[in-house]
Structures are given as C-alpha cells and as structure tokens.
A = this chain, B = another copy of it.
Amino acid sequence: MKDPLVLFMPSGKRGRFPVGTPVLEAARQLGVYVESVCGSRATCGRCQISVQEGHFAKHGITSSHDHLSRIGPKEERYDRVRSLPEGRRLSCSALILGDLVIDVPQDTVINAQVVRKAADERVFDRNAALRMCYVEVEEPDMEKPLGDLDRLKAALAADWHFDDLDVDFHLIPKVQSILRKGEWKVTAAIHKDREDERPRLVALYPGLKNEAYGIACDIGSTTIAMHLSSLLSGRTVASAGTSNPQIRFGEDLMSRVSYVMMNPDGREAMTLAVREALNGLIDKVCAEGGVSRGDILDSVFVGNPIMHHLFLGIDPTELGGAPFALAVSGAVRVKSSQIGLPMNEGTRTYVLPCIAGHVGADAAGATLSEGPHRQDEMMLLVDIGTNAEIVLGNSSRVVAASSPTGPAFEGAEISSGQRAAPGAIERVRIDPLTLEPRFRVIGVEQWSDEPGFAEAAAATGVTGICGSGIIEVIAEMYLAGIISEDGVVDGALAERSPRILQNGRTFSYLLHDGEQRLTVTQNDVRAIQLAKAALYAGVKLLMDKQGVTQVDRIGLAGAFGTFIDPKYAMVLGLIPDCDLSRVKAVGNAAGTGARMCLLNREYRREIEETVRKIDKIETALEPRFQEHFVAAMALPNKIDAFPHLAAVVTLPERKVLADAVDGGRRRRRGRE
C-alpha cells in the first residue's frame, strides 16, 4: 500500500507522505512555501489551506476533505477565537490521511487588514528574506547559567532550525525586558537573504506577532512610487507616489549630475531631498495601511543609476562622463537606518543591481518583472525617460543598452510641451481631408469636438501638449500628409488649411487656438525625430547583437509607456514593427520587480544572476549607431519595414519634399 499522494496547487509540486504527516510539514518538504509564524501551535492562522474535492484523473487520485484528519481542539480553538473561513484548514494541524489536492491560497488575510488592490497587483510565490518565528523560551535557571539571549537562540534553533543566529546589536540591551514582557513567549524576526549568509535576529516582539511589512519603491527621476506589502500574506496594503523633490536641482538626470559637480554640497542636498521624500512616502503608506513604521522590517529599492547613487549617498559625477563608472553595480544591502530611513531599528534595505552606467536597477527590476530571460520569445522592454533603458532578449541571451533620447518625450524642448497634468493635450486625431484636429485634454471627459468640451475645459484650460499628445499629433500629422516621411512640414498645404502657418523658412501646424496658441513647429518635429531616432537606433543595435530583424513582444515601461498609444509610437518608428496586440504597457515594471524581491528572496538571486549574464552594449562605442540613427530619422524609418503596422494603418504615400533623397524609394520597397 503506497503512502498517500499530495499535490499542492498552484505550484503542482507533489509527493507521497506517510499517513499522519501534517500538511504543513509535507509542504515544507516539497519546498512549497506556506507561511507560519506560531511554529505549528495553531495560533497564528497563517498556514491556511483548502482541499479540492473530486477525482483527478490526470493524477489518478480522489481528493476529499475526509482525507484530512478531523478538526482537533487547537484548530477548533483558533476557529472559535479568530474564525477560520469556510473550507479552510490550518495546515500545521491537519494531518494527511489519504490522497489530497491542496490549494495554497495566496491571499490569507489575518486581522482583517486593510487591502488596497493596486492596478498592477500581481500575486507572487512568497519566500521573504524576513520571517516571523514565535518561540517559547526557557526561563533562567541558576543551574544552567546561559544568558537570556542564548536561551532564545537555543529555542529558535530547536523550533525553527536557525542554528547559531547572529543578532543585531541593538536588540541585546532589550532582550531581557522583551522576554519578560512576553512572559518568555516572543516572536523573533529573522532576516536571511542569501543561502550562504548567517541568519540574523533583527527584531523581537513580546508574545505572538502575527504581521510584518515591507516596502518596495521605485525612485524615478520625476516620480517616486512606493508600495507597502505584508511580508506574510504578500498583499499590498497601501501605495503612494510623489514627485521627486530633486527636480528643484535639475529637471533631467544630467542637470542633476551637473549640480553635484558645481556645488560642493550638491550631492548631500540631493541625497537628503530624496530621503526626505521617501520618509514622507513611508509615513503616507503607513497611515493609509494602518501600519506602524516600526512594523516595516524589510525594504527594496530600484532606480536608475543616478537616482541609485544619490539615494545611497554616492557622488554620481563619474556617471556624467565616459567611461560612466558606477561606484557599485552589484546588489547593495544595508540597514535602512544607515541610509536615513528609520523604520524598525532592524529593518534591512536591498537595492537591486544596476546593469550598466546608464541602465540601472530600475531596468533590472523591469527585467525581473517582465522576464524576457524566462521566455523563448524575443522580447523588447523599453523604459523611456531622458535616457531610454532598453532590454532585449529571451531565455538564451539578454542584451541591454541605454539611448540618450533627451527630454523631448517628456515635453521639454517642445514649443508647446508640458508635463502630463490637467490641461495638457494627451490624445490627437487629424482629419486627413480637412486637416482639422480634435483632441482630448487631461482632466476632461469629452473630446474637443464633443458637446460640453468648452465648458468642461474651462476649469483646466488647454495649456500645452504632454508626451503622449506630442507622439500622437506628430504621428497624425504624418498620417494626414502634413509632414513628409523626412519630417518636413508641407508648406504647400497652407493653401488648403489655415492651420498650416509659416514661420520664416519653415511651417508649423496650429493644434489649438484658444487662450494659448498651441502649435507644432518644424523644430518640435525635429526634436521628436532626434529622440525617437536615438531610441530606435539603440533598439536596432540590440537587435543586431541578437541577430534578429523582428521582435515578438514589446513591453513599454513607465508612465510614458502607460499613456502612449503603441500604434502611434510605431507610426513614428519609435519602436520596431511588431504585432500591435503584442505591444503592451507594463506599467511600473521596475516597481513590480522591487515588490517581487521584497516578497521572495529567490527573485533577488534571479535578477543578480540575470544581470551578471546580461550583455551590456555601450551605444556610443558601436560603429553602426550612426547609421541606424540616420535611417531612424525618417517616419517610421528609412530602411526598416513595418509590415504589421501597415496591416492596420494606412501609411501615407511617400512625399518628396525639400531635401528628400532617393533613399525613400528603397524604403518603400522594403515596406511592401
């Protein structure tokens, strides 16, 4: 007679266990992560599971509730005091009696914690670096004069197999009073990130402490986003964002590096500024989640290299010029209190590795989240900012680079450009016959040609064009024939439409004539062309390295990626041709990667290993960059075909204007 077969879902891990084995024990043996704080005392309620009833032909077993032992007195007490949801059992108490298919719920909620489900919330397997371990400690005894801490360590070794723990020094003066307050029952917070690292006692609570939190944070040059998650349930209990106060020292990254180079206290001031903002965000997520700062025990940060350096208090000057040497590229581990983020005294901070001098821990986080290295398809991951960070690869190989796109996509260097804020034009359509535009403004429901727009827009005004609006208006201008594939505004159209305005030797397009007159000038088009050509040339270099002419999937990360319409991005030739249904905004993928590392230390190993293996391309050193760049100045591209795009969008006939060259014809052939 074989031992019962037990399957754990969703992982599908399976094994046979003797009758009478606690389900929790079986899960542990199979490496299925089931949380438990109380050490199988049936008091924390963290180890809940449920049973799938029925016959599972694929596995040849019948699973039933009856294949678990009956509810015993301890489990019954838990149910009475804390209430066990219908169908749930405590896996520490339920013993295996027969074949079972066990569901490990990813959303076990204790103490009715406040849960705010963020848009990008994904559920991950958990294996946090921080564990909560309840123990009952022997009382002092004159005959065995081991210290209080040493008896606590002995209990943690006996019950939790943490042999010879290291102990954060700040706990040593407190251990006696905590043990006595808890009447020799305490919950130890044990931090262990790497396998070859000694586990470390970082916090200690009297009695059963059934919760612990962590923060995951993406420090962007413009925006900082933070999530507060339960390390035990994995749930995100609060999220908050704020603008990066370093903006007052410089809008873009390079101006911040310059500020450091010009001002003796510049680095310190910017470090202080970002840490103050982070402390404010910590207070905010704590207030929203109803969590005490002291209960945050772990934290993970990502950011581009310059944000990464300034956050850690490192002078970023070296990143301002070749060879763009990072002070540190590997993952950084530090006590949070050492970087000005006081939470619990034992709180740890983990910062993801940087990929290269211009491809930061944020790109590493996005890579981890989107996982090009985990799939066979060739995936392009682009995070557009002042520097675009570009990752391309699949499970065989991943390559990465950055491209100096400049601030045009963010609305800077554009005559009517502005940040994405109420009043900014974010969507544009142009009638190819009349050349009349219609548009949408942030903060206003209606399109500009719909009834009620004027009234609704009165509050915000129509103040400028934000990044996604610029992409759309220029793409629509191209599709409507207002600009040629070489980006020249067709002055001849001034005869047909009053929206084509002459400015000396060039022409512009009047998008809106209200309180503010919003035009798209020839210079604006040039600025976008330069930016998108830089991005596309970077992508092409990576495609060359990979030896591909097509990508299978595209992920657009960050705020810009969330708001631009992939179709228009492709019309502009900002991204290579691809099935449009496979181009997706991936949101704050960097932040998601940080959250993964917070909840599961195996993801830290995964991204450390992946970053070590990523081939880094320095675009400036690549001889073909110029060539790609020049071809990419055209819309969508002078050389590359866009067959997927051409299938859904009617691309205009080629117009030869001004200094147009013969190369255009070659491109047309390529496109067919």
Contacts and interface: CB of A to CB of B under 8 A. Distances in A.
Interface stretch (A225-233, A327-335, A415-423, A431-439): A327-335
Contacts of A329: 145-147, 149-150
A324 B141 CA distance: 8
Contact of A327 (B173, B327, B618): B173
B332 A148 contact: no
A150 B328 contact: yes
Of the listed residues A141, A312, A327, A338, the one surrounded by the most CB atoms of chain B closer than 10 A to its CB is A327
The bracket for how many chain A residues form the interface is: 35 or more
Interface string A319-344: 00011111111101111001100000
A325 to B, nearest CB: 4
A176 interface: yes
Nearest to A335: B169
A312 to B, nearest CB: 6
A313 interface: yes
Interface string A297-316: 00000000000000011110
Contacts of A140: 318, 323-325
Interface string A598-635: 00000000000000000010101100000000000000
A454 interface: no
Contacts of A313: 172-173
Contacts of A176: 314-315, 318, 325, 327
Contacts of A357: 142, 145
Nearest to A141: B323
A455 interface: no
A662 interface: no
Contacts of A142: 322-324, 357, 618, 620-621
A354 interface: yes
A149 B312 CA distance: 14
A175 interface: yes
A314 B145 contact: no
A173 B326 CA distance: 11
Contacts of A534: none
A188 to B, nearest CB: 15
Interface in A59-118: none
A539 interface: no
A616 B334 CA distance: 39
Given A145-B356, A198-B196, A357-B145, A172 B328 contact: yes
A616 B145 contact: yes
Contact of A145 (B141, B326, B334, B339): B326
A268 to B, nearest CB: 10
Nearest to A169: B334
Interface in A539-553: none
Contact of A618 (B143, B167, B621): B143
A149 B324 contact: no
A265 interface: no
A327 B170 CA distance: 13
A653 interface: no
A659 interface: no
B326 A169 contact: no
B145 A328 contact: no
Interface in A136-191: 140-150, 153, 166-167, 169-170, 172-173, 175-177
A515 interface: no
Nearest to A614: B145
Contacts of A672: none
A197 interface: yes
Contacts of A318: 140, 148, 176
A341 to B, nearest CB: 13
Contacts of A330: 147, 149-150, 153
Contacts of A620: 142
Nearest to A313: B173
Interface string A422-446: 0000000000000000000000000
A355 B144 CA distance: 10
A357 to B, nearest CB: 5
A323 to B, nearest CB: 4
Given A313-B173, A621-B142, A148 B326 contact: yes
Nearest to A149: B328
A142 B322 CA distance: 7
A322 B325 CA distance: 60
A330 B313 CA distance: 36
A9 B624 CA distance: 65
A338 B150 contact: no
A319 B325 CA distance: 54
Contacts of A326: 145-148, 150
Nearest to A312: B172
A516 B326 CA distance: 76
Interface in A214-266: none
Given A150-B328, A176-B318, A198-B197, A338 B169 contact: yes
Contact of A314 (B172, B198, B325, B621): B172
Nearest to A620: B142
Given A176-B315, A196-B198, A147 B325 contact: yes
Nearest to A327: B176
A608 to B, nearest CB: 10
22 contacts: A142-B322, A142-B324, A142-B618, A142-B620, A143-B618, A144-B616, A145-B324, A145-B356, A148-B318, A148-B326, A148-B327, A150-B326, A166-B333, A169-B332, A169-B339, A172-B314, A172-B328, A172-B332, A173-B314, A173-B327, A175-B327, A175-B328
**Closest 9 pairs (CB-CB, A-B):** A147-B329, A140-B325, A145-B356, A147-B326, A149-B328, A169-B334, A147-B328, A142-B618, A142-B323
Given A140-B323, A150-B328, 10 more contacts: A142-B621, A145-B329, A145-B355, A146-B329, A147-B325, A149-B327, A150-B326, A173-B327, A176-B318, A176-B325
Interface of A: 140-150, 153, 166-167, 169-170, 172-173, 175-177, 196-198, 312-315, 318, 322-330, 332-335, 338-339, 354-357, 616, 618, 620-621
